[in-house]
Structure 1
Amino acid sequence: MYVVLGANGRAGGEAARALIERGEAVRVVVRRKEQGEKWAMLGAEVAVASIEDADGMGDALKGAQAAFLLNPPPVSGDPYARTEELGVALADAARRARLPKAVVLSSIGAQHVSGTGVIATLNRFEALLDGVAPATAFLRSGYFLETWGEVAGTVTSESVLPSFLDPAQKIPMVSTIDVGRTAATLLGEEWSGKRVVELSGPGDWSAGDVAAAFADVLGRPVAPVLVPAERRAALLADEGVPGEVASALLGMFDGIANGLFVREHSNEQRSGTTSLEAAIRRIVGAAEPAGVA
């Protein structure tokens, strides 16, 4: 039995789907029973628990041969304090359940204690979950290609790609499809001790490359537009992002601009197979409301 957290999110959902498609027994952990209905229809077992509830999460992890663990993206409050709370509780739950193997979602750049905004919460998350199972792997992902779905509405209506990323700066990016498939593969591998696996796509890409991919899919020019730093906080506030979360997100983009979103080549390196154009074509097919990526 494989246990998957965050099944209703991007990476967790793809991990659960990859395991189910492989014919594995899967238990998804959700906060509310109704969130698990679609997974039950796919044949998964559903457990209801909150990550911060060590008792409930410990029960959800019992009997698992391996589990996919993560720190959910912050939506309110202090992301750093929230990471501390969740990491302590999740580590406690995994130890109570005697979890034998864990794959923990992290990010490229998580080697830095500071200077990377919200990514720095994953540096702390890794520290809190280090040794949580006899076999523990930290899956450090590149920038999710699916994040560009947040601006797909603007791209399709205005033919511009607004971004906080320099149009010329190439960084590791990867589809969450590949994140899920890689997580499922790691869950099935045998090892002992700690591993750090860094995952990117078939190549590194820039916001300019993303704009070009949108142009190819839409059949018309799309211009990448760098949102000036002085306008970003107000833009996030207009979108309803709370101040502490916005500050952490802006810190991430500062870290990327300063060259901190980079691989540690001493770690294991893996590459996904989903091309940039394939990911953008999928995004355009399910365009979300306008925003900034």
Structure 2
Amino acid sequence: MYVVLGANGRAGGETAHALIGMGKPVRIVLRRPEQAEKWVKLGADVAISSIEDVPSLAAALKGASGAFLLSPPPVSGDPYSRAEEVGSALVEAVRQAGLPKVVALSSVGAQHETGTGIIATLNRLEKHLEGAAPSTSFLRAGYFIETWGEVAPAVIADGVLPSFLEPSKKIPMVSTIDVGSTAAHLLVDDFSGKRVVELRGPQDWSANDVAAAFGRVLDRKVETAFVPPETRAAVLAQEGVPPEVADALLGMYDGIASGRVEREEGAEQRRGSVALAEAVGRIVRRMGEDGGGLAS
């Protein structure tokens, strides 16, 4: 049995689907019972818990061969304090359960304690989890291609891709399909000790590459609209992002621009197989399925 946290999110969901596709028994940890039906239909066991509830989380982990763990994206408050709380709770649950193997979602650049904005929260998570289980893998993924789905409505409506990334700068990006597949294989891999696996797509891509991929999928011209640093805080405020969370997010983009969000010497390097246009096509299809509108 393999336990997956965050299965209703991007990376956790893909990890759960990958394990189920491999024929492995899976237990999904969810916050609310009403979220369980779709996973039960896929043959997964479901446990209701939260990261904050250490005894119930430990019970969900008990007897498992391994677990995919992550720190949920912060929505309010101080992200760095929250990372400490989550890390402490996860490591205690792992130890109470006697869990033999952990695969924890992290990010390229997580080797740095500072200078990477919100990615630094994953540095704290790694420090908490290191040594918590006999086998611990930190899966440091690149920038999720699926994150561009947040601006897909603007792309579809106006043919413009807003970007906090310098348009021509190529960075590590990867589809969450590859993240889930890699996490699943790390979970079933026979490995002891600590490993750091950095995962990026088949090649590095820029915002301009993403715009071109949207253009191919939509069969129309899509241009990149660079959002300069001095206006980004206002953009996030308009979207309702709390100031502390916004500061951490903006720090990540500063870290990317400065080259701080890059590979760590000695880390295991892997590349996924999902092409940029394939991942972007899935974003667009899902928007159509969700009623996002593709007619414009």
Q: Give your verdict on TM over 0.5.
A: yes
Match of 1:89, SS state, is helix
Could you give the per-residue CA deviations for residues 82-116 of structure 1, whole angstroms, max 9, x where no partner exists?
Answer: 11011101100000000000100000000110010
Aligned residue number for residue 172 of structure 1: 172
Aligned residue number for residue 201 of structure 1: 201
Aligned residue number for residue 43 of structure 2: 43
Aligned residue number for residue 77 of structure 2: 77
User: What are the ranges of 5 or more consecutive residues in structure 1 without an aligned counterpart?
Assistant: none
Aligned residue number for residue 270 of structure 1: 270
Aligned residue number for residue 152 of structure 1: 152
Between the aligned partners of 1:107 and 1:123, the Cα distance in structure 2 is: 9
Between the aligned partners of 1:73 and 1:272, the Cα distance in structure 2 is: 23
Could you give the per-residue CA deviations for residues 149-186 of structure 1, whole angstroms, max 9, x where no partner exists?
Answer: 01111001101100100001100000000000000000
Aligned-residue sequence identity (percent) comes to 65
1:68 is aligned to 2:62? no
| Counterpart residue identity of residue 58, structure 1 | A
Aligned length: 290
Between the aligned partners of 1:259 and 1:244, the Cα distance in structure 2 is: 23
Could you give the per-residue CA deviations for residues 219-278 of structure 1, whole angstroms, max 9, x where no partner exists?
Answer: 111111110111111111111111111111011001001101111141111111000010
Could you give the per-residue CA deviations for residues 188-211 of structure 1, whole angstroms, max 9, x where no partner exists?
Answer: 001111000000000000001101
Between the aligned partners of 2:167 and 2:79, the Cα distance in structure 1 is: 28
Aligned residue number for residue 182 of structure 2: 182
| Counterpart residue identity of residue 36, structure 1 | A
Aligned residue number for residue 135 of structure 2: 135
Range with greater deviation from structure 2 (257-266 or 22-31): 257-266
Between the aligned partners of 2:100 and 2:90, the Cα distance in structure 1 is: 14
Aligned residue number for residue 98 of structure 1: 98
Match of 1:286, SS state, is helix
Between the aligned partners of 2:23 and 2:192, the Cα distance in structure 1 is: 25
Coordinate RMSD, CA, aligned? 1.1
Match of 1:73, SS state, is coil
Aligned residue number for residue 107 of structure 2: 107
Match of 1:39, SS state, is helix
Could you give the per-residue CA deviations for residues 19-59 of structure 1, whole angstroms, max 9, x where no partner exists?
Answer: 01111100000111111221111110000111021111111
| Counterpart residue identity of residue 73, structure 1 | P
Match of 1:196, SS state, is strand
Aligned residue number for residue 248 of structure 1: 248
| Counterpart residue identity of residue 78, structure 2 | D
1:227 is aligned to 2:227? yes
State the 1:122 CA deviation.
0.3
Between the aligned partners of 2:199 and 2:269, the Cα distance in structure 1 is: 6
Match of 2:36, SS state, is helix
State the 1:217 CA deviation.
1.1
TM-score by length of 2: 0.96
Between the aligned partners of 2:96 and 2:192, the Cα distance in structure 1 is: 19
Between the aligned partners of 1:69 and 1:210, the Cα distance in structure 2 is: 29
Question: Which stretches of structure 1, 4 residues or longer, exceed 3 Å deviation after superposition?
Answer: none
Between the aligned partners of 1:242 and 1:114, the Cα distance in structure 2 is: 21
Between the aligned partners of 2:160 and 2:197, the Cα distance in structure 1 is: 34
Aligned residue number for residue 121 of structure 1: 121
Match of 1:259, SS state, is coil
